[in-house]
Structure 1
């Protein structure tokens, strides 16, 4: 194989990773405030109006631009997290899909190939992104506003072993969510060619599966007391505690779900549109 062909193959592999990174950056900058409201509903059992009013009360006494800085407090961890996550969602999924599709025993099993690719990329994504989700969770919790001044203060304070708190529900969430998203995205091509709509629907269906794992993760990762956090190591135990705290009401477990669907439709619509436009541009320009 010539040097030119080797370079071209590297570009082909790198292209979905680069476009995934870019789509993640654009996504988080546009949807971060909605994500903050949704998160506080998940964690504190707020209604939508309570979450909005609580955030308003925090911002009201602050002058511009401090109020904007406070609104985007904790942006750095989710920016890294979202960029890495989208890199694995697209780059990891498509690369692993190509690898698995070459296996003789999977030649005629497209859905199994897709599932294996999604589970592999989702698991690796969990390992890389869990520390950023941990930081993001603590910084978005209004109870931590006075305890930690900023991201770097938290990084210096949090013990290394605590960065992977909550990784179990993240692993349970990521792989299947990735599989659902791509399955719905592909099926939607029979109805519409609109990238935003296809991505939005894929994200919405994936969120319906993933939401309860996010509730569990938020509780586990919001705890900064090491002794208390040991009690919440089990995903099932944490789920039972939250369910009991919310008066054994199933609908209360889905606090923030409406915000989640709004954020997800925006997030995955933007991500999908940007990714495919970026990918097409780089491919036509022969740039990686």
Structure 2
């Protein structure tokens, strides 16, 4: 005697809902646990930011931060801490949800191997929509030239609120969306195959996940670094002359003397940050997913 088909469908739907919830939970947990490395490497990130904005060598960027003193070293750290936890929750959970929907609806139209990357692309677009205001506030706070007229988080929020969305909280939304969508697509598309290759060398699953997350994030960070530099330069000031994306890119390219080397100034520190944060996040997330599976 066979069971009720509707009952089986309800059970499968409930099971899928639980699995999807676990993806959101595990994504948030793994990112929350990586907030300690975020705190540790925040001075590194801020050094990179100064290089991106002022086009200075690393010793001059470090000198700027040293001169400002320890009290201002962690100015702007609150937005990235909030972003790390919320970002992991949304990114991993939404990608898994989209992956399920695509798996059910693609019906062999889209190759199975491409589905994680496609789901990651969609999750990256939503991520940009949600977190561009956080990044905008963070970049304004980290710019030392804003310390005098925008000394606190509250003054920054009030000033951005007075601007139109495209000039205030959603300044540089298009390059942020391009960077996040492409980055998420590459991350979820490459993470699994990279992990399989590393695991084939006889390493433990935890180490394999860490290395795959590190290598994947390193490659993505370097490939999309020019977009990050563009975003930082577009978002760092408030109330200056307003330029579009292409105009800002031309100004940035001219300021770097049309040199790719100068454009990538600070890129080596991005590798360090990616190794620490995304390596740990990937390892913790994969471990939780396997434990709950």
Aligned position for 1:57: 67
1:213 to 227, 240, 249: 227
**CA deviation after TM superposition for structure 1 residue 175, in Å:** 1.4
Matched, 1:168 2:174: yes
1:204 aligns with 2:210: no
- 1:73-222 correspondence to structure 2 within 5 Å: 73-106=75-108, 109-159=111-161, 161=165, 162-188=168-194, 189-192=196-199, 193=205, 194=207, 195-222=209-236
- 2:257 matched to which residue of 1? 247
| Counterpart Cα distance in 2 of 1:264 and 1:242 | 24
Match of 2:19 among 12, 15, 35: 12
**Which digits, 9 at most, give the CA deviation of each residue in 1:149-169, with x for residues without a partner?**
322231122225210001110
> How far did 1:280 drift?
4.1
- The 8 Å contact of residues 184 and 202 in structure 1, kept in 2 or not, is answered as yes
Aligned position for 1:62: none
Distance 1:27 1:130 in 2: 21
Which residue is 2:4 aligned to?
none
Distance 1:172 1:111 in 2: 22
Alignment CA distance shift 1:25-1:43 (3 Å): farther
CA distance in structure 2 between the aligned counterparts of 1:200 and 1:252, rounded to whole angstroms: 24
SS at match of 2:34: helix
How far apart, CA to CA, are the structure 2 residues paired with 1:157 and 1:28?
28
1:162-191 Cα deviation digits (max 9, x unpaired): 100011101111111112122332222222
Inter-partner Cα distance in structure 2 for 1:15 and 1:167: 30
Q: Give 3-state SS (helix, strand or coil) of 2:224's partner.
A: helix
Q: Confirm or deny: 8 A CA contact 2:114 2:189 kept in the other structure.
A: no
2:36 alignment partner, one of 2, 8, 29:
29
Ranges in structure 2 where 5+ consecutive residues have no aligned partner: 1-6, 200-204
Structure 1: where are the runs of 5+ without partners? 60-66
Post-superposition offset of 1:72: 2.1
What is the TM-score of this pair, normalised by structure 1?
A: 0.86
Aligned length: 271
Query: What secondary structure, in the 3-state scheme, does the structure 2 residue paired with 1:163 have?
Result: coil
In the alignment, is the contact (CA less than 8 A) between 1:41 and 1:51 conserved in 2? Answer: yes
CA-to-aligned-CA distance 1:65-109 (integer Å, 9 cap, x gap):
xx3x53222122112222232223211111111111112444551
Cα-Cα RMSD: 2.2
The range that moved more, 178-187 or 21-30, is 21-30
CA contact (8 A) 1:24 1:79 kept: no
Q: Distance in 2 between matches of 1:91 and 1:16?
A: 5
